[in-house]
A and B are shown apart, each in its own frame.
Chain A
Amino acid sequence: MIGHTGAPGWLWPLGGRGRRYRLLLGLLGVLHVSTLFAGFLAPADPATQNRDLPFAPPTRLHFVDPSGRLHLRPFVYGLARPSGDLEGYTEDRNRIYPVRFFVRGAPYRIAGLVDSDRHLFGTDGGTHLFLLGSDAYGRDQLSRFLYGAQISLFAGILGAGLSLGTGMLLGGVAGYYGAWVDETIMRVAELFLALPWMYLLFAVRMALPLRIEPAQAFLLVLAVIGLIGWARPARLIRGVVLSAKQQDYVVAARGLGASDTHLLRRHVLPQVLGIALTQAALLAPQYILAEVTLSFFGLGVGEPVPSWGNMLASLQRYDVLSSYWWMFVPGVALIPVFLLYYALADALHQRSAAFSR
């Protein structure tokens, strides 16, 4: 778990007090929504292999051609491999390929609805634009990274939503009805909390088939993640519900004959939401990491579907680890995403703390 000290303003100096969470929510929202447009943003198809071009280094954008003329539009050279040299790639300076916006390329589908073959940028063909290099099969690392973000980032919020939903339901029921219901649910929660969560993650993963199709794998990983995480939010929510239940105005409303559902919806839920949101902001990065870890170890989303985890898996080979820095990109990208989430949790925490004062 991430330690939450609640020390004011110590994570993120941006934005005014109290408003900061909106800025962060917006940033994260843009990040997540833009992954949905991976097909448009990515210059290539993530599964197309170029077996003759493994681990090609990132293609460099040029502005000045060999004759010294300045181009306003950036261009790239073709890739050349001197025969006999397996490692070295050079640029073929005989021809230039201008990089254009809105070029036609590999067909894709956005969010399962819109078909298109326009890409944000690319060349007119004839060469490969590997802005982040290529992987072992010569697939474009940038395109795979963008598509992989769909899986990895959404595993975070969907997983957090799933375990928060379960946690809120069970915690709410436990806190509201009390007695043996509370006792049972909390004892089971204790068991889930008694396990180190990585061990729990793997144990739950054991309960599901080992080899699965990539399409199902994502749902499966989500299910695993959601299952392991319900206990902590459930405990928190239970506490809030317990204290909310005893507040005078809630007792009064009950005395006036308000129904259980009315009490829960109008009086208890609003108090719970702030805490639930803070929890979500803390859970999401943990779950992103859970997907990445599972896929890294070959227990999550498998090839050919890219996820940040299975992209990192090639680093298990020492030669890849030491030679091709661009294979680290999905891992390094986790850092800003995590920091954004932590900053959001921090801001939300301060906000709800300010409210309760």
Chain B
Amino acid sequence: MPYLCWRLGHGLLVLIGVSALSFLLAGAAPGSFVDELKLDPRISPTTISALRDRYGLDQSLPEKYFHWLQSIARGELGFSVAYNSPVGPLLWPRARNTLLLAVPATALAWLIAVPVGTWTASRRGGWADRIAAGATTALLGVPDLLLGLGLLLLAVRTGSFPTGGMVSLGYAELGPSERIKDVISHFLLPVTALTLVTLPVLVRHVRASLLDVLHAPFIQAARAIGISERRLLFRHALRAAANPLISLLGLSVAGLLSASLVVETIMSWPGLGLLLLEAVVARDLHLVVGAVMCSTVLLIAGNLLADGLLYLADPRIRPEQA
């Protein structure tokens, strides 16, 4: 456990660093939310200066940062000028929606990648391997933006999927089971997009790490003993190849969140990415910092999860790190 505590502490330090960094970046931004209001002749200069005062726009950067840290202690994470509300309550549902896409997409991608990667590794150079190699290469070349647009085109053309958003118009009147059905029909498309984006890299890594193992002497020995090929692959080889794959699980969170930002925005899924884009356009400093922080938390959580799994899966890691 001290190992995990150490990792946790490290993650916390990184978070503090990231917050300072994003404040520095975002604080350097010219213009602010009220600049847009200035153009409106109906709003008097006194109102503007009162607003500036209220949102603390004239404070120096360290002062802003300090006040922001104070508001974290209150669980607010700053104040969004565009939404006129504390940032915290805005972030949570958005982060939940992003997770609602990311978790099933990750699960689905791994569920496909592990058998496909294992199978193609065992038939290296065969027709299945070649087809899989061609397919993953082709998928690798398709950017997430295009994939999202393509799936959207499919939705618009066939009309069998909703084309955006998370819920239908009459969502509030639906019963509980219909509500779930409604959300699922909306989330099929973005989840498909995210799965396809993550899939090729995973398949290739599973295949590569299995190939490394399949040459090992213990596999030869096991085969000589007469262990069936399937058992050999999925029980022995896959377990030995698991370590780099578990690390990959942690690493792939970053790519997944990035792709999710694009997919969410294209399919207007009310997640963290869409919120960030809106905040950047609205020059809403605290909301930008909040969304960035939130994505970092998700990323660190993913890495911690991978660390924890690695810790459980491989006893060799324990003594050297603790």
Q: Which residues of A contact B (CB under 8 A)?
A: 1-3, 5-7, 10-11, 187-188, 190-192, 194-200, 202-210, 289, 292-293, 296-299, 312, 315-316, 318, 321-322, 328, 331-332, 334-336, 338-339, 342
Complex A-B: 15 CB contacts under 8 Å: A2-B201, A3-B205, A191-B14, A191-B18, A194-B296, A196-B253, A196-B254, A198-B258, A199-B276, A206-B280, A289-B144, A292-B143, A315-B149, A322-B157, A335-B141
B 186-225 to A, binary, CB cutoff 8 A, 1 in contact else 0: 0000000000000011101101100100000000000000
Cβ of B160 to closest chain A Cβ, rounded Å: 14
Known: A195-B18, A195-B295. Contact between A6 and B208, CB under 8 A? yes
Asked whether B95 is an interface residue with its Cβ less than 8 Å from the other chain, the reply is no
Tell me whether A5 and B145 are in contact (CB under 8 A): no
Do A5 and B207 contact each other (CB < 8 Å), given the known contacts A199-B257, A207-B26, A335-B146?
yes
**B-side interface residues toward A, CB under 8 Å?**
14, 17-18, 21-22, 25-26, 28-31, 133, 137-138, 140-146, 149, 152-153, 156-157, 163, 200-202, 204-205, 207-208, 211, 248, 251, 253-255, 257-259, 261-262, 265-266, 273, 276-277, 279-281, 283, 285, 288-289, 291-292, 295-296, 299-300
Question: Once the chains are docked, how many angstroms separate the CA of A289 from the CA of B255?
Answer: 13
- A331-B145 in contact given A5-B207, A196-B261 (Cβ < 8 Å): yes
B299 touches which of A194, A334, A338 (Cβ 8 Å):
A194
User: Contacting B26 at CB < 8 Å: which of A191, A206, A289, A316?
Assistant: A206
Shortest beta-carbon distance, B99 to chain A, in Å?
14
Cross-chain contact B295 with A196 (CB below 8 angstroms): yes
Q: Within the assembled complex, what's the spacing in Å between the Cα atoms of A126 and B269?
A: 47
Which one of B21, B31, B138, B300 has the greatest number of beta carbons of chain A within 10 Å? B21
> Which residues of chain B have C-beta atoms less than 8 A from A338's C-beta?
140-141, 143
Knowing that A195-B296, A206-B25, A312-B145 are A-B contacts, what are 16 other residue pairs whose CB atoms are under 8 Å apart, sorted by A's residue number?
A: A3-B202, A5-B208, A7-B211, A190-B14, A190-B17, A195-B18, A199-B276, A200-B292, A202-B276, A202-B280, A206-B279, A210-B283, A289-B143, A322-B157, A331-B146, A342-B140
B299 touches A195 (CB 8 A): yes
Find out whether the CB atom of A322 lies under 8 angstroms from the CB atom of B292. no
Set of chain A residues within 8 Å of B292, measured between Cβ atoms? 195, 199-200, 203
Are A206 and B29 in contact, with the CB atoms below 8 A? yes
Closest chain B CB from A226 CB (angstroms): 14
**Chain A residues near B300 (CB-CB < 8 A):** 194
Contacts of A208 in B (CB 8 A): 29-30
Given the complex, which residues of A lie within 8 Å of B137, measured CB to CB?
Answer: 10-11, 339, 342
- With a CB–CB cut-off of 8 A, which chain A residues contact B145? 289, 292-293, 296, 312, 331
Instruction: Determine whether the beta carbon of B262 is less than 8 Å from that of A198.
Output: yes
Bound-state Cα–Cα, A209 to B18, Å: 22
CA separation between A339 and B133, bound complex, in Å? Answer: 13
Chain A residues with CB under 8 A of B140: 2, 338-339, 342
- A332-B142 Cα distance, complex, nearest whole Å: 8
Give the complex CA separation of A57 and B289 in angstroms: 45
Residue in B149, B204, B251, B280 whose beta carbon sits within 8 Å of that of A205 in the complex? B280
- Report if A196-B258 is in contact (Cβ < 8 Å); known contacts: A7-B211, A202-B276, A292-B145: yes
Q: Given A196-B299, A198-B273: A7 and B207 within 8 A (CB)?
A: yes
Please name all residues of chain A whose beta carbon is closer than 8 Å to the beta carbon of B157 when the two chains form the complex: 322
Chain B residues within 8 Å of A289, by CB = 143-145
**Is B258 touching A322 in the complex (CB atoms < 8 A)?**
no
The minimal Cβ–Cβ distance linking B203 to chain A, given in whole angstroms, is: 9
Please, how many angstroms separate the alpha-carbon atoms of A297 and B133 in the complex? 33
A331 close to B149 (CB less than 8 A): yes
Looking at the assembled complex, report how far the CB atom of A238 sits from the nearest CB atom of chain B, in whole angstroms: 18
CA distance A334 to B280 in the complex (A): 26
How many Å lie between the Cα of A46 and that of B232 in the bound state? 60
Q: Check A197–B288 contact: CB distance below 8 A.
A: no
Q: With A293-B262, A318-B163 in contact, do A339 and B141 touch (Cβ < 8 Å)?
A: yes
Query: Closest Cβ of chain A: how far from B132's Cβ, in Å?
Result: 10
Which of chain B's residues have a CB closer than 8 A to the CB of A3?
200-202, 204-205, 248
- CB-CB < 8 A to A200: which residues of B? 292
A18-B25 Cα distance, complex, nearest whole Å: 43
**Minimum C-beta distance from A227 to chain B (A):** 9
- CB-CB under 8 A from B254, the residues of chain A are 1, 195-197
Does A7 lie within 8 Å of B22, measured CB to CB?
Answer: no
In the docked arrangement, what's the CA distance between A158 and B202, Å?
A: 29
Distance between A337 CB and nearest chain B CB, rounded to angstroms: 8
Are B163 and A331 within 8 A (Cβ)? no
A278 CA to B276 CA, complexed, in Å = 32
| Nearest CB on A from B180, distance (A) | 26
